[in-house]
């Protein structure tokens, strides 16, 4: 009996071990607020106070940069205004009044050494004023779903009403990283502004994002070992600091097709990199990128009424992938949702979508499109009938016109004949 109990206890213990390893705990974080999201879908993988309003410091410049990229061209020529060199605080690249630079130079200065003067000059140029640009920033934030965000300036210097959340910043970073120019800038470790009309020496600078380069002078503690902040799979983004905001970081990484975005806010010195390492390691270890469906995959045939084709074989518009928890025991389910079909349909028109769910949560959606064009034969038939009627009326009018003409000719001839008869009769007398 005792032996049997011991066997049961052993089995139960094994079950507990397996259960605990199947569902790894989210990493312990030092930063006051943090979030890890899937960069493709925006799905939150783990978080800590992600919706708490925080000061973003220079993470603000992510929005400034992406707006400038969208509003201008890298070759745009920008002249430094008279006020900025004298009114800006914090980090800068010593811009001078009247100095002429390209938008490209200013963007690299904005994102690598986090130049506040570059932020101000960019904002004044594209927004016509600081307030004008800030208005555009807030409009864009709302458009992206960052509803707990309010910007008061383009650089992130402290203002009580200048705030956001880790979750909102992750959304903004996700949007920015979809832009190729932005991705290239934030992945760059070194850049040099050449001589200008005001500076006779080049200005080289290095990114403040220590995830991007190996620096053994700095050490962080990860998994019980002291290592460099450098992260092998890091792809870029932005750091920030003010006394009020603490150390902030928006970071991106990619491994084996899995793209992640981590945001940490109000951290302590280099420990924000420790949090980023732990978040990324958790994401890459616990989640995998799964292909839910491929582009141009046939889904179903739909019947068409009054079309020159009786049915459409709808296909997927794009590949669809999603991050799936490796230990997930749930089944992925799909649901096809078709739109009301209105003819005519052009090739590649969206006619529906497929939703994929895991444990009753949507993990991905892909549009369904028509691979062919379909005309509305009912409309064409009506058009043909109308055309036939028009033709018939035209023929009637033509016939009537000809009849009138023939009648006139007949009357003219008859009149001439009668005149000749009268003349002959008169001559006979």
- Concatenating the DSSP letter of every residue in 141-210 gives HHHTT-TT-B-SSSS----TT-BB-HHHHHHHHHHHHTSHHHHHHHT-SEEEE---SS-SS-EEEE-S-G
CATH code at 29-290: 3.40.710.10
Walk along the chain (429 residues) and give the pLDDT tens digit of each residue. Answer: 444 444 343 333 333 333 223 335 679 999 999 999 999 989 999 999 999 999 999 999 999 999 999 999 999 999 999 999 998 899 999 999 999 999 999 999 999 999 999 999 999 999 999 999 999 999 999 999 999 999 999 999 999 999 999 999 999 999 999 999 999 999 999 999 999 999 999 999 999 999 999 877 889 999 999 999 999 999 999 999 999 999 999 999 999 989 999 999 999 999 999 999 999 999 999 998 888 899 999 999 998 888 888 899 999 999 998 888 888 767 889 999 999 888 899 999 999 999 999 888 888 899 999 999 999 887 555 545 666 677 778 778 887 778 788 888 888 787 878 777 766 666 655
DSSP result, 29-56 = --SSEEEEEETTT--EEEEESTTS-B--
User: Given this model, what pLDDT does residue 384 score?
Assistant: 55
Decide if 299 contacts 336 (C-beta within 8 A): yes
> Is the separation of the CB atoms in 356 and 292 below 8 Å?
yes
Cβ atoms within 10 Å, residue 102: 18
Asked whether 27 and 279 are in contact (CB, 8 A), the reply is yes
**pLDDT the model gives residue 183:** 98
Q: Report the distance separating Cα 210 and Cα 234, nearest Å.
A: 10
The structure's pTM equals 0.78
CA dist., res. 275 & res. 96, Å (int) = 38
| Fold (CATH) for 294-369 | Peptidoglycan synthesis regulatory factor (PBP3), Domain 2 (2.60.410)
Closest CA to 204 of 310, 79, 113: 113
344: preceding bond cis by omega (within 30 degrees): yes
Domain boundaries, the chain: 29-290, 294-369, 377-429
Quick one: pLDDT at residue 1?
Answer: 45
3-state helix, strand, coil in the chain (%, to 5): 40, 30, 35
Closest CA to 307 of 348, 344, 352, 346: 344
**Residues belonging to the active site:** 58, 61, 114
Query: Residue 91 and residue 61: Cα distance in Å, rounded?
Result: 13
């Amino acid at each position: 009996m005792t032996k049997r109990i011991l066997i049961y206890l052993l089995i139960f213990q094994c079950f507990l071990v397996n259960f605990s390893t199947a569902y790894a705990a989210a990493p312990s974080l030092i930063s006051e607020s943090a979030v890890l999201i899937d960069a493709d879908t925006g799905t939150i993988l783990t978080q800590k106070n992600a919706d708490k309003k925080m000061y973003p410091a220079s993470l603000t410049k992510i929005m400034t940069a992406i707006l400038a990229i969208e509003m201008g061209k890298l070759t745009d020529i920008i002249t430094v205004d008279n006020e900025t060199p004298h009114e800006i605080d914090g980090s800068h690249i010593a811009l001078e009044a009247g100095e002429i630079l390209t938008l490209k130079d200013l963007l690299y200065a904005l994102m690598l050494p986090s130049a506040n003067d570059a932020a101000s000059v960019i904002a004044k140029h594209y927004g016509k004023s600081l307030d004008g640009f800030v208005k555009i920033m807030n409009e864009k934030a709302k458009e992206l779903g960052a509803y707990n965000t309010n910007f008061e300036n383009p650089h992130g210097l402290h203002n009580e009403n200048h705030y956001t959340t880790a979750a909102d910043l992750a959304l903004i970073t996700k949007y920015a990283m979809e832009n190729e120019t932005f991705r290239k800038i934030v992945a760059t470790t070194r850049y040099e502004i050449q001589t200008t009309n005001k500076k006779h020496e080049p200005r080289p600078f290095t990114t403040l994002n220590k995830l991007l380069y190996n620096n053994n002078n700095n050490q962080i503690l990860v998994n019980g070992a002291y290592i460099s902040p450098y992260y092998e799979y890091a792809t870029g983004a932005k750091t920030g600091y003010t006394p009020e905001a603490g150390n902030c970081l928006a970071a991106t990484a990619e491994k084996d097709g899995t793209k992640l975005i981590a945001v940490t806010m109000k951290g302590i010195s280099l420990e924000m990199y420790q949090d980023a390492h732990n978040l990324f390691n958790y994401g890459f270890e616990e989640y995998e990128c799964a292909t839910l469906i491929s582009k141009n995959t046939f889904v179903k045939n739909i019947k068409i009424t009054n079309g020159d084709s009786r049915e459409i074989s709808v296909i997927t518009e794009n590949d669809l992938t999603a991050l799936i928890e490796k230990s997930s025991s749930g089944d992925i389910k799909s649901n096809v949702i078709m739109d009301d079909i209105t003819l005519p349909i052009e090739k590649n028109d969206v006619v529906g979508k497929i939703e994929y769910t895991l444990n009753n949560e949507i993990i991905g959606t892909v549009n369904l499109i028509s691979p062919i064009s379909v005309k509305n034969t009912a409309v064409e038939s009506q058009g043909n009938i109308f055309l036939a009627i028009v033709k018939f009326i035209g023929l009637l009018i033509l016939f009537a016109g000809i009849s009138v003409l023939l009648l006139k000719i007949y009357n003219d001839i008859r009149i001439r004949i009668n005149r000749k008869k009268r003349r002959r009769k008169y001559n006979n007398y």
